[in-house]
Structure 1
């Protein structure tokens, strides 16, 4: 979908040449754009809403065709729900309304003009609303049909959406915001594409190829370590996960230098288990197809790197993805095996299905060489986090309050929320092993916390946070698919750091 911004005052909407217009109704109250169209149609718009019983609930839409006095053939009305006492929509309602408006415009219309940027949204500016509308439009129009023998016709999707602002003086601000929103949407779509790829395509080497493609223009430098190089570095914990697979593990580093040469980089570390059978600790067969999404942490890092490259973000960022396939075979790691990490600590592997922390701990040691300003790892790490937080919020774990607060605030601003969980030393004893320095699981309780506590043992050299995205990275069921989260959260976090 192509996106644009135009200065169109409400009074000029009736004569606008777009074949479709999108306006809002808050409960029974018409927005400024809807009020202008109602006046131009001599009350026909309000009368049509009344006859249809339209009550303006959040996300409710109603197409109105051929209203008198209005040049556009279609006026799409979208409800926001009644405004709360604050007079502003919540970010969650705003997100829902924006998605519904794009999905409801018939693709055959071709082009549409949206007036939703005029809506009052809590904590927002015009720039943030334009940015939001751009990325929400790309989210709403996303399709993954690479493997469909019959592709949807081009007319099924809206070709172009223009976002209207009332004041021409703010056009430059709006255009800049549109570009940032497109960058977020593009990065999120890239992450979704990677997550949705089948595991016979998206093996570890495929992810390294995608990283190399990001570096084709020289804006991102890419380095890939194979198993021989990792063995020399002592990354035996990471290699234990790929021991049963025919596909070689990969450790991929992407370096983007958008800041000053001497500035310490922010490092993102993504878990890239391209398929997780559980290894010898085999998972149940039902739903195992969804274990192709166990690389969504790595996909989110790739999506972020793609976006900051497009945005030319003024910040130094290093993205590291630890990629492996966890398979059972005669060479696979067994429960009870003890391996040495790159840090020198030894790990008793009690469950080979707790493999994400095994690849991450070596990657987290590896990134010490970059002398990072902060490290954030992103992983579909634990089912326990899904039980705790469901599909709404990602789990956030950090031993640094300031870094945690930055990430929480970023998630709130872009409606890609996280919820902070403890990483208290009280939980560390659950990881005690009689035979090694640490066990890779901590028993039946506090599973997401003990996983984070395990990772914390490898992050003493820098400020660190961990995002457990097991509940938010993909959706199950008939509409299953990758969500591209937490790409928006991470990009807002980086944007705020670059601004400082």
Structure 2
């Protein structure tokens, strides 16, 4: 989709000419019980009161999320006028703006408009946000709405009347910031697209080698530095925990390191670590057959890290970021991990494997030890780690765990700003009691109680030398049922976090 920015002051006669411009659709917003303003007011005047009459008859209420499409409005150059309800003015919020934007984009798809003029970014100030945020959010959500996964279909169904061009109007004073916001919104959208594409690919295509090749491609295209470690190099690093998961599969493991160097050479980097289990059968502790196909999504942490690295590079953020992805399959075989096996991690800690389906923490723990060499300013690992997190938080919030209040607060605020929210859960030492082993330093599971918490506590044992946070995205990375597919989360949260860190 093509995006552009247009400066506009709806109170000036010259800018009112936009109303007469030729376009398939103009999108305007109205508040419930509030006088018309901005573009809606100018359309009403140009049409000699069409909108006002609809308000009086109750056909145009302005309730949050409602849409009305008007065709061939007199005095208007656009073929259609899409009026979006914004709810009550005194209740307008970032969430209300986001919901109105989603409703408008859905309605636009139904009109089959090829291009549109979007005025919602300047309809009213969004409390706690600036005009740039409104533009970036609209662009990001438009990219999200336009996403289609058709790579594996022999004859993809054509998308009829898809929106090809969106012009966003902004106040003249916001023009420069809006252009930056447009660039960043597009970067986040493309990062989400990459994450969704990788996750939606089947496990026989998106293998560890495919993820490694994707990292190499990103490095070539965006001037990143990629280092891919193969099985011999991983073994030389004594990543016995990671390799124990990989040995049950014929697919070779890969350890991906992708560097973006946008800050000063000596500035400590932010490190993102993504779990990359490209298919999780559960291993010897085999999962139930129902919905096992969705275990191709067990690499969504890796996908989100690669998507975030793409977004950061496209934005040109002035900080250093390193993406680290340990990736392999978890399969049952004569060579696979068995319950009761004990392995030695890169840190030297021994781990008793009580359940081979708790494999994500086994590959992440070695990655968390590896990243000590970067002397990071902060480390955030991202993983579809536990079904227990879905029981705790459902599909709304990602689970956030950290012993650092400052880092946790930064991630929570980034999630709120990005509309990609997380909820903080405890990672207290008292829970470590559940991970005690009679035979090794630690067990890889702590039983059913507080399953997502004990998983985070396990990881915390390997992340004690830097500020660290863990995001459990098991409930937010993909959807099941009729809407089955990857969501691209938490790319928006991670990129917002990094944008905020750049400004510190």
Under a length normalisation based on structure 1, what TM-score does the superposition of the two structures give? Answer: 0.96
Give 1:404-419 correspondences, 5 Å limit: 404-419=408-423
Cα pair 1:13 1:33 within 8 Å, conserved: no
> Displacement of 1:18 after TM fit?
2.1
1:420 alignment counterpart: 424
Q: In the alignment, which of 248, 256, 281 is matched to residue 252 of structure 1? A: 256
Aligned to 1:454: 458
Distance 2:392 2:21 in 1: 49
Structure 2: gaps of 5 or more residues: 11-15
User: What is the CA distance between 1:278 and its match in structure 2?
Assistant: 0.6
Residues of 1 paired with 2:18 and 2:172: CA distance?
A: 14
Q: Distance in 2 between matches of 1:218 and 1:412?
A: 29
How far apart in 1 are the matches of 2:269 and 2:177? Answer: 28
Q: 2:29 aligns with which of 15, 24, 46?
A: 24
Deviates more, 1:10-19 or 1:247-256: 10-19
Give the aligned partner of residue 469 of structure 1: 473
CA offset digits 1:319-376 (Å, max 9, x no partner): 0011011111111111110000000000000001101100000000011111111100
Q: Is the 8 A contact 2:7 2:169 kept in 1?
A: yes
In structure 2, do the counterparts of structure 1 residues 88 and 6 end up closer, same or farther at CA, with 3 Å as the change threshold?
farther
| Equivalent in 43, 50, 64 of residue 44 of structure 1 | 50
Q: Name the SS of the counterpart of 2:481 in structure 1.
A: coil
Question: Does 2:158 match 1:138?
Answer: no
Is contact 1:99–1:139 with CA below 8 Å preserved after alignment? no
Tell me, what secondary structure is at the counterpart of 2:424? Answer: strand
User: Alpha-carbon deviation of 1:218?
Assistant: 6.2
Shift of 1:51: 5.5
Q: In structure 2, what is the equivalent of residue 69 of structure 1?
A: 75
> How do 1:435-454 residues align onto structure 2 when only pairs under 5 Å count?
435-454=439-458
2:403 is equivalent to residue 393 of structure 1: no
Provide runs of 4+ in structure 1 moved above 6 Å: none
Shift of 1:268: 0.3
1:283 aligns with 2:287: yes
Aligned to 2:108: 105
Residue 45 of structure 1 and its aligned partner are, at CA, apart by 2.4
- Give yes or no for the alignment of 1:372 onto 2:376: yes
Say how many residue pairs are matched: 496
Is the counterpart of residue 482 in structure 1 residue 486 in structure 2? yes
Supply the RMSD in Å over aligned alpha carbons. Answer: 1.5
Counterpart position of 1:158: 163
Deviation at 1:149, TM superposition (A): 3.0
Q: Which moved more, 1:42-51 or 1:404-413?
A: 42-51
Pick from 202, 206, 212 the counterpart of residue 202 of structure 1. Answer: 206
Out of 302, 310, 324, the position equivalent to 1:298 is 302
Structure 2 distance, partners of 1:260, 1:139, is 33
| Alpha-carbon distance in 2 for matches of 1:91, 1:278 | 40
Match of 1:109, SS?
Answer: coil
| Aligned partner of residue 482 in structure 2, secondary structure | coil
Alpha-carbon distance in structure 2 between the residues aligned to 1:404 and 1:218: 30
How many Å separate the matches in 1 of 2:352 and 2:37?
62
**Which TM-score applies when normalising by structure 2?**
0.96
User: Which runs of 5 or more residues in structure 1 are unaligned?
Assistant: none
Cα distance in 1 between the residues matched to 2:282 and 2:193: 28
Q: What SS is found at the alignment partner of 2:3? A: strand
Alpha-carbon shift at residue 93 of structure 1 (Å): 2.4
Question: What is the Cα deviation at residue 154 of structure 1?
Answer: 5.2
- Mapped contact 1:395–1:467 kept (Cα < 8 A): yes
**1-side partners of 2:373 and 2:27: how far apart?**
51
The CA deviation string for residues 414-443 of structure 1, in whole angstroms up to 9 with x for no partner, is 111111111100100100000000000001
* Structure 1 residue 399 displacement after superposition: 0.8
The answer as to 2:100 corresponding to 1:90 is no
Query: Residue 7 of structure 2 corresponds to which residue in structure 1?
Result: 7
1:267/1:375 contact within 8 Å kept: yes
Do the aligned partners of residues 218 and 52 (structure 1) sit closer, same or farther apart at CA in structure 2, a change above 3 Å counting? closer
Query: Is 1:383 aligned to residue 392 of structure 2?
Result: no
User: Aligned-pair distance for 1:12?
Assistant: 3.6
